[in-house]
Amino acid sequence: MKSVRFHASPVLAIKLPAWRSRAVVFLLFLAFLALIARAVYLQGFTTDFLQTQGEMRYARTLEMPATRGKIVDRNGVILASSVPAAAVWANPKEVKASPKQLIDLAKLLDLPSAELKKKLSRTDTSFIYLKRQVPQVIANQIQKLEIAGIDLRKEYIRTYPEGEAMAHVVGFTNVEDTGQEGVELGWQKDLAGQTGSRRVIRDRLGRIVEDVADISSPRDGKDLSLSIDGKIQYLAYSQLKAALEKQKAKAGAMIVLDVQTGEILALANLPTYNPNDRHDLTGAQLRNRVLTDTYEPGSTLKPFTISLALEKGVVKPETVIQTAPGKLTIGSATISDSHAHGPLSVGDIIKVSSNIGTAKIAMQMQPQQMWDMFSSVGLGQAPKLGFPGAVAGRLRPYKNWRPIEQATMSYGYGLSVSLLQIARAYTTFARNGDMIPLTFFKTNGAPALGVRVVSSKTAAEMRNMLEAATGPEGTAPQAQVMGYRVAGKTGTARKLVGGSYAQNKYVGSFVGFAPVSNPRIVVAVMIDEPSNGVYYGGLVAAPVFSAVVAGTLRLMNVEPDAPIKSLIVPTEPVQESF
């Protein structure tokens, strides 16, 4: 073939119109102009957006959890504290692990392999928790696996060294470290503190390679020093537990108060639970019966009716009331004593717990006077403790009382109270007639301001009557304590079931204080549905009172105020009326 030089090619000889070349140049100019405009826009107007998008690929904001405050008893013994742990999380889209690594991870997390694989196979999220509150030792082993897409977040596990004995006082937190019960819930804001945060740079395996900056520093929670004494608490818990086992009772509760400061020294409930292991909890275990459950107080309310009558001058301690023949009809209803007593002084009415004597005294007063008395000691009002679930009980308006209701309320039927309310009310007699607020926090002996309820004279007279009730001829000789004079009152009440009183379900209780010469503590005990053949408060609750008072006064180094000698307790104490 004949060769043709390139520059002489016929194609190059074709002449194009000038406008076409100009159009191409103009289009190229526009393209470059668009690129310049885009560059100016991106670098001049959207810097923050691009910076944010870039940081999203390598930078993270990490939460810096605050350490939750400790809870300690009055002696500094730790009741609740936080220990370091970790939350294990994953970005399923970035997880790259060998089969062996997945098996090892499942074992460390104590998860079935199938469940772990299911979590890691999700494609609808870039964040999923594999397990929360993993102990630090296990977390360190997980970190050594170096699995891409698996990361750890610092958090804490709440521990409760005193376990079941302190459960209803301290309560517990959930997996988010938020209080759910007890002090943990009631003082959540004080304990929680405030979380902080920091910016870090991570590599493709999720490892932190550089700290950028602290955005805010965490503020640790406040430590709380409770009024509870761990030794007294365990004493109350163990004695209550032994009583429930002996009496085959459904439940029980107890509270110990410091008469001088209003501090709550112990608060025990059964059934209970272990706040360190809360699997399969029931409502019965969680109920703080001292504060949240109400019951009809029965004869433990009689001293307030009698003290009102003494204050109003209706009777004197030596005034005699005829209680024969052991029954009293008011309208269409009849009330009775456990057996006929005949003429009784006001002191004897308390000592043998006569319903008829109490009712006859009550009927000499106005309903409003009785209502005012009950209200003045806190009945019908929720205690101002800050503790979750504290109830007000039931005290109906006096204008609606019928005569029979006024009579039955005088000896503790027709109204309801919590054990805390009745315990606080008894501080009136232990404190010469005034009543002080209660607290869950240590006061360091600071005196509390009381509110006058009855005169000092009336309080002294009631102390004498209540001491006689624990004597050999009273309803609670088993409440006696060797070396100390004690005073108190038994209560036995039938339980309301379906709107009517059950014939075989009772609440036995005892409330008292010691030592009588200079009262230091008030102790209230309630035994719910004892079923071992006895149910009177003097038989099921008074012995618990005795054991706890004896141990508590010795722990508090309170000097004895009675001869230390063997007590003579009748085998069959006087049966109280109910």
Q: What angle do CA 268, 271, 277 make, to 5 degrees?
A: 95
Q: How far apart are alpha carbons 252 and 249 in whole angstroms?
A: 8
Considering only CA atoms, which of 428, 429, 415, 425 is closest in space to residue 466? 429
Query: Residue 131: helix, strand or coil by DSSP?
Result: strand
- Which of 227, 299, 338, 509 is the catalytic position? 299
Distances (CA, A) of 457 to 106, 428, 431, 468, 512: 73, 12, 11, 17, 19
**Given the DSSP bridges, would you call strands 487-497 and 500-514 parallel, antiparallel or unpaired?**
antiparallel
DSSP conformation letters of 122-175: --S-S-EEEEEEEEHHHHHHHHHT--BTEEEEEEEEEE-TTGGGGHHHH--B-T
98 catalytic residue (yes or no): no
The 3-class SS string of 377-388 reads CCCCCCCCCCCC
Residue of 301, 575, 272, 552 whose CA lies nearest to 419: 301
d(C-alpha 406, C-alpha 359), whole Å: 8
CB 361 within 8 A of CB 321: yes
Q: Environment class of residue 270 by beta-carbon count within 10 Å: exposed (0-12), middle (13-18) or buried (19+)?
A: buried
* DSSP secondary structure of 501-543: EEEEEEEEEEEEEE-TTS--EEEEEEEES--SS---HHHHTHH
Task: Supply the angle between the helices 302-311 and 456-469 in degrees, to the nearest 10.
Answer: 140
Pairing, β 78-90 against β 71-72 = antiparallel
In this structure, are residues 415 and 362 in contact, taking their beta carbons and an 8 Å threshold?
A: no
Burial of residue 470, with CB atoms counted within 10 A of its CB: 0-12 exposed, 13-18 middle, 19 or more buried: buried
248 three-state secondary structure: coil
DSSP state of 290: H
User: Which two structure tokens, joined as six digits, stand for 411?
Assistant: 């000896």
Query: What does R_g of the chain's alpha carbons equal in angstroms?
Result: 37
DSSP 36: H
**Tokens at residue 424, please?**
């606080």
Q: Which are the catalytic amino acids?
A: 299
